[in-house]
Chains A and B, each alone.
Chain A
């Protein structure tokens, strides 16, 4: 299981994502986005545990929920931006 951090433009979108992940049984936590991740200042993200990015993004797509960026949170604390590879 990997941990991803997905960012959203508004807290409302992040809250909707939090609900969607919870419905799918994926553990998640809503957090404010670290400043360096958000070039426009003040955003929200959801930290979610799932097998891969594709699985997580599929949930958002089903909800028609737009997200901004996706990051993989490594166990050693390294944060890596990862891309959506879905068609």
Chain B
């Protein structure tokens, strides 16, 4: 199979990741509960994962909360910062993992910046929304539909200047764009472990600049006499047994990303997207391509997107069609009525993969 759906999850997982998962299943018991060797091995796995994330994102290991996925982290961050009725600024390219929690909280959402690949429009939109009294901002680093890299440094600076807390959704950027937690000054950065960080599905990270409001309450293996959740990180946000084999795999994935460097990974993915976009356009497809684009490109044509995607799947080419759980992004780009077909490159994608797709589509 030619796999070009890395925006959904990186696949197949590297051998080092698979090996780490298997080893943890053999060696590790529940961490932070017992003092025996297997429990200690489990605790060591979790700490090593936090350390590797700390190294990649320049953050202390205690501030790395281990989650099930990016969505869980975003929910925790949003529920910490947003009260019902609050005014919140978001970009025009947010995923439902951001917009649904905000809708659930009955937040008053201002969509800031809807023009694809246009940094000026995005920055201007946020300035306006923040000046109109947004008490929080949530923005994606990279659109999961179009690969548009938002000007997050500038948006972070605008928030910091006004003292407005913000959350960064790094679902598509973690592992492909360098992120410095301290430099950005985010209140929270949420990311999946299983996309650009190459870990198993069912893993995610929430980097915390402040104490989050827990989504779950329960055992943490610490301060057990108290009936309130611990007030310190990471325990406050990690009730219940964690996915130790998953985080063993995630640590292995993080080490691979650290070895190769996110900048280099992202550059190669972006080059493949640009190569593909140019040739798709020549073939007559409507292609969404522009400056500030990472390794994802969307296109559409005369045929229904899902039908086309199914046909390609039948020919051994894995893409994703539809709305990609991001109706807001499609509305912004004017593709809500049809959706798009998304090609998303990853860690081990090659020019040959792109050529195989292009050959099928020509």
Contact = CB atoms under 8 A, between A and B. Distances in A.
Contacts of B40: 30
B21 interface: no
A32 B47 CA distance: 16
Contacts of B46: 12
A9 B35 contact: no
A83 interface: no
B31 interface: yes
B43 A9 contact: no
Interface string A1-38: 00000000111110110010000000000111000000
A40 B225 contact: yes
Contacts of A79: none
A19 B14 CA distance: 28
A42 B47 contact: no
Contact of A11 (B222, B226, B233): B222
Interface in B187-241: 220-226, 230, 232-235
Contacts of A13: 62, 232
A43 interface: yes
A41 B50 contact: no
B43 to A, nearest CB: 6
A59 to B, nearest CB: 16
Given A12-B62, A15-B47, A42 B35 contact: no
Contacts of B220: 10
A9 B232 contact: yes
Contacts of B249: none
Contacts of A41: 223-226
Nearest to B31: A11
Interface in B47-104: 47, 50-51, 60-62
B261 interface: no
A10 B235 contact: yes
Contact of A42 (B221, B233, B234): B221
Nearest to A9: B232
B290 interface: no
B185 interface: no
B223 A11 contact: no
Given A16-B61, A30-B40, A9 B234 contact: no
Most B Cβ at <10 Å: residue of A11, A12, A40: A12
B222 A9 contact: yes
A31 B35 CA distance: 7
Contact of B43 (A15, A19, A43): A15
A16 B51 CA distance: 9
Contacts of B221: 11, 42
A3 B142 CA distance: 51
Contacts of B151: none
A10 B222 CA distance: 6
B43 A11 contact: yes
Interface of A: 9-13, 15-16, 19, 30-32, 39-44
Given A15-B44, A15-B47, 17 more contacts: A9-B222, A9-B223, A10-B62, A10-B234, A11-B31, A11-B43, A11-B47, A11-B222, A12-B50, A12-B62, A15-B43, A32-B35, A39-B225, A40-B225, A41-B225, A42-B221, A42-B222
22 contacts: A9-B222, A9-B223, A9-B232, A10-B62, A10-B235, A11-B43, A11-B221, A11-B222, A12-B50, A12-B61, A15-B44, A15-B47, A16-B47, A19-B51, A39-B225, A41-B223, A41-B225, A41-B226, A42-B221, A42-B222, A42-B223, A42-B224
